[in-house]
Amino acid sequence: MYFDTHAHLDDEAFDPDREEVLRRIRASGVERVVNPGCNAASTRKAAALADAWDFIWFAAGYHPEDLASLTEEGYGTVRTLAAHPKCVAIGEIGLDYYWDTSRKEEQKALFRRQLELALELDKPVIIHDREAHADCLEIVRQYPGLRGVFHCYSGSAEMAKELLKLGWYLGFDGPVTYKNARKAVEVLEICPPDRILVETDSPYLPPVPMRGKRNDPGNLTYICEKIGEVKGLTGEAAARLTLENGCRLFGL
Ligand code: NI
């Protein structure tokens, strides 16, 4: 019943017990997961997980935080893996001005290059936008044929309206369950039901009441409960809705 459209199951946080976690979440009703890559090595790992598990798909991409490790050989690997039959998107890609503002132009160039790859391969994109809202919006506007999701959306309700008009989906994660989540809840309120995706961003961003622990897709239930509460649905209905939305965007 659940579709986690953004979980880093290849992360080393899962090295000690990955099989056990995957078996447990599959048994608990997680029907689909998209594992985005962050560089060549993690995209390769994500592809291997998708090969081994029938309920896992992946995305291929270079995260802006991985800019320093980018090589042409690595980019070629990501490009090749993007053609894999279980690669459903280019991601996660985008701009991150939280960690590093010194290489904005290089981040933008890498972002554009991957948006063009998505258009070339006719795949949706998974966008990471951290404290780079204006630049992300300006860039995606320049590619009207593009579709995809703003993962863990953290911009304003005003910008959300713009993105929704352009056809984008918005990803909601653990932070919607936090007490101080005013902005995320406001965005959820204005987001049409058919544009909501639910994500965990595992192993990061655990929802209430799992804060402080390693996050995994089994915690989607808490995020779906909250989405349901805001949209006047049961948690189960929110789960079904976001599963359908994810399948539509990623062509599953
Ligand atoms: Ni992520």
Residues 69-93 as b/e (b if ≥16 CB within 10 A, e otherwise) read ebeeebbebbbebbebebbbbbbbb
Instruction: Work out the average pLDDT over 100-106.
Output: 89
Amino acid in the structure at residue 170: L
Centre of ligand 1 from the C-alpha of residue 211, in Å: 17
Cα angle value 184/43/127 (rounded, 5°): 25
Amino acid in the structure at residue 193: P
Centre of ligand 1 from the C-alpha of residue 38, in Å: 8
Cα angle value 131/57/91 (rounded, 5°): 25
pLDDT at 99: 78
Cα angle value 72/78/82 (rounded, 5°): 140
Mean pLDDT across the chain, nearest whole number? Answer: 97
pLDDT at 181: 87
Centre of ligand 1 from the C-alpha of residue 7, in Å: 7
- CATH code at 123? 3.20.20.140
Q: Is the pLDDT of residue 84 over 80?
A: yes
216-242 pLDDT tens trace: 999 999 999 999 999 999 999 999 999
Residues 182-218 as b/e (b if ≥16 CB within 10 A, e otherwise) read ebbbebbeebeeebbbbbbbbbebbbbebeeeebbbb
pLDDT at 235: 97
pLDDT at 85: 97
**Any bridge partners for residue 32, and if so which?**
3
Centre of ligand 1 from the C-alpha of residue 65, in Å: 11
Centre of ligand 1 from the C-alpha of residue 62, in Å: 11
Q: Is the pLDDT of residue 100 over 80?
A: no
Centre of ligand 1 from the C-alpha of residue 127, in Å: 9
Centre of ligand 1 from the C-alpha of residue 92, in Å: 7
pLDDT at 101: 80
Instruction: Work out the average pLDDT over 138-155.
Output: 97
What is the count of structural domains for the chain?
Answer: 1
* Residue numbers of the domain that contains 162: 2-250
